[in-house]
Amino acid sequence: METAMTQSGRLSDEEIQTLKAPWDSLRQQVGKVFIGLPDVVEKVCICLLTGGHMLLEGVPGTAKTHLLNAVAKVLNLSFSRIQFTPDLLPSDLMGTMIYNPKEHTFEPKLGPIMTNFLLADEINRAPAKVQSALLEVMAEHQVTLGDKSYPVPEPFFVCASQNPVEQEGTFFLPEAQKDRFMFKIHLGYLSKDEECSLLNIIDGLEDHVSHLDTVLDAKQVLEYQKKLEQIYVDEKVKDYIVRLVHATRDTKTCLGSHLIDLGGSPRATIALYKGSRAKAFMQGRSFVIPQDVLDILEPVLAHRLMLSVDAEVDELSVSDVIKEIGDVISQP
């Protein structure tokens, strides 16, 4: 891998196979303790490779914490979980300045956000001030206490979870704040066979996680993020990405009716561009094809679109509208 990582220019197919081997091993390792839903593990990898963040929606007990803890262990990265509650303060997340009576000075006491992997559990239970503080760190990768800024560890990955079951006592993320997340993933229930397999490994599950093999470290993950820029994206594929996002802003033209009140932002275009590169890499290719873009279209747009009354009348979901756009917009 050392030779491949030091190469410059466009990546060859041989280099890709060498480079992706640790990520294949990661998915295999995590698969030992996270039953089912392999596409979710792949999307976590895509977010990591592109430096993005993830919004994870799922009912309680679907192993959100367990998944991220396992990925962090395999990558030898630090992991923190913060349970968001209505009484949470920004200082509980970021830290604060503590008075030192001996020195007569204030010293920083950094919070749990100083980690590589952060699970913001039930982010919609915290008030807007806490949500905004988290999103600021996601964008700037630093915490400001007093008159100084402290960089968070790199790579820095935030997975914010939402519980779709309970709505009382929650503070919904505004559309502009949800736009800062690269992906939104829905974590569903396991199948019957998968849930039976879960029972076979449930005893000593935490011990299983602690014994997972480490395949990469923080420095190597950062190198991969830079190396991803060498995945080739043809101009026609770039045009395809732009046409897909623009179609969400004017569905009356492409679908024949006005189904969307708020379409994808330029961040959606960038997320499709970077994410399709990572998808191609995970598939073992040194170039992006249109199918790579389509494969990540829903997680990129699912939290960015606001449907119109027409769509509600027609009983269309966000997934339905995204699928229609993917079907209507011609591939290069």
pLDDT-based confidence at residue 11 (cuts at 50, 70, 90): confident
Check pLDDT > 50 for residue 5.
Answer: no
- CATH 3.40.50.300 segments of the chain: 2-226
- CATH 1.10.8.80 segments of the chain: 231-328
Q: Which of 80-84, 170-174, 269-273 has the highest mean pLDDT?
A: 269-273
Check pLDDT > 90 for residue 74.
Answer: yes
Check pLDDT > 90 for residue 184.
Answer: yes
Name the strand (E) or helix (H) holding 157.
Answer: strand 157-162
What pLDDT shows up at residue 205?
A: 66
More confident residue, 63 or 204: 63
Residues 182, 184, 187: CA angle, nearest 5 degrees: 145
First to last CA, the chain: 34
Check pLDDT > 50 for residue 64.
Answer: yes
Instruction: Give the integer Cα–Cα distance in Å for 322 and 332.
Output: 18
Q: Tell which residue, 188, 294, 176, 316, has the closest CA to residue 245.
A: 294
What pLDDT shows up at residue 22?
A: 93
Q: What is the pLDDT of residues 106-164, one digit of tens each?
A: 888 899 999 999 999 988 888 888 988 898 899 899 998 888 889 999 999 999 988 77
Give the domain 231-328 fold.
Answer: Helicase, Ruva Protein; domain 3 (1.10.8)
CB burial readout 23-51, b (16+ within 10 A) else e: beebbebbeebbbbbeebbbbbbbbbbbb
pLDDT-based confidence at residue 332 (cuts at 50, 70, 90): confident
Q: What is the pLDDT of residues 247-296, one digit of tens each?
A: 999 888 888 788 899 999 999 999 999 999 999 999 999 999 999 999 99
Q: Please, what is the average pLDDT of the chain?
A: 88
Instruction: Give the integer Cα–Cα distance in Å for 207 and 296.
Output: 33
Greatest alpha-carbon span in the chain = 72
What pLDDT shows up at residue 8?
A: 45
Give the domain 2-226 fold.
Answer: Rossmann fold (3.40.50)
Mean pLDDT within 305-329: 91
Q: What is the pLDDT of residues 192-234, one digit of tens each?
A: 888 887 887 777 666 677 788 899 999 999 999 999 999 999 9
pTM: 0.89
Report how far apart, in Å, the C-alpha atoms of 305 and of each of 98, 128, 264, 294, 314 are: 43, 21, 6, 16, 16
